[in-house]
Amino acid sequence: MASARNDVDASGVKSLTHIGVEGEARMVDVGDKAATSRVAIAEGRVRMAPTTLATILVGDAKKGDVIGAARIAGIMAAKKTSELIPLCHPIALSSVVVDIAPDEALPGLSVRAEARSFGPTGVEMEALTAVAVACLTIYDMAKAVDRGMSVEGVRLLEKRGGKSGEWRAQELKS
């Protein structure tokens, strides 16, 4: 069996861990990695017309509670991440929190997810998947009112734990 590429190649450039020596896609072996507490936080937003935001906030969307359904969808998606992302490890999540808040400045809804686990691999994909699916659920539930909504800015904000330690995204310029 082909072994994994090193983390850094001969020229000092980081290599992709999901690519084997022959260039084939592979699942990274995390069996020998130490189990540590892992946390990842991601964000995204759904931009919409001010009237669409008002409709959601007063609870008049035809499909029901948009924010509540999106929160549950995000949590469910985080739990199914390894079924959606081909080379992602199935992990035992200890917590997934999805917060959705109105943002009049967009206008729209801001989505933030935090995923936690204790194990040999990170939870970045679970946090990102939670945000993406929550945003898509908002779109689905409100598209009858506003097909021009856009899902934007899905990104990792922070990760903690594991060999690489802490990482934080740089602030975006307005």
Residue of 65, 103, 140, 146 marked active site: 140
Residue 123 lies in a domain: yes
Least confident of 27-31, 78-82, 120-124: 27-31
pLDDT at residue 75 is higher than 80? yes
Does residue 126 belong to any structural domain of this protein? Answer: yes
CB atoms within 10 A of CB 50: 11
In a domain, 166, yes or no: no
Q: How confident is the model at residue 138 (pLDDT cuts 50, 70, 90)?
A: very high
* Listed range (77-81, 85-89, 135-139) with the worst mean pLDDT: 85-89
In a domain, 30, yes or no: no
Q: Is 140 a catalytic residue?
A: yes
**Is there a domain that residue 46 lies in?**
yes
Asked if residue 127 is part of any domain, the answer here is yes
Looking at the structure of the chain, the number of domains it has is 1
pTM value > 0.75: yes
User: Which residue segment(s) compose the domain that 72 sits in?
Assistant: 36-161
85 pLDDT above the threshold of 80: yes
The reply to whether 154 falls in a domain is yes
Is 65 inside any structural domain?
yes
- State pLDDT tens for residues 19-46: 667 767 666 767 678 788 999 999 999 9
CATH number at residue 58: 3.30.70.640
The pLDDT assigned to 121 comes to 86
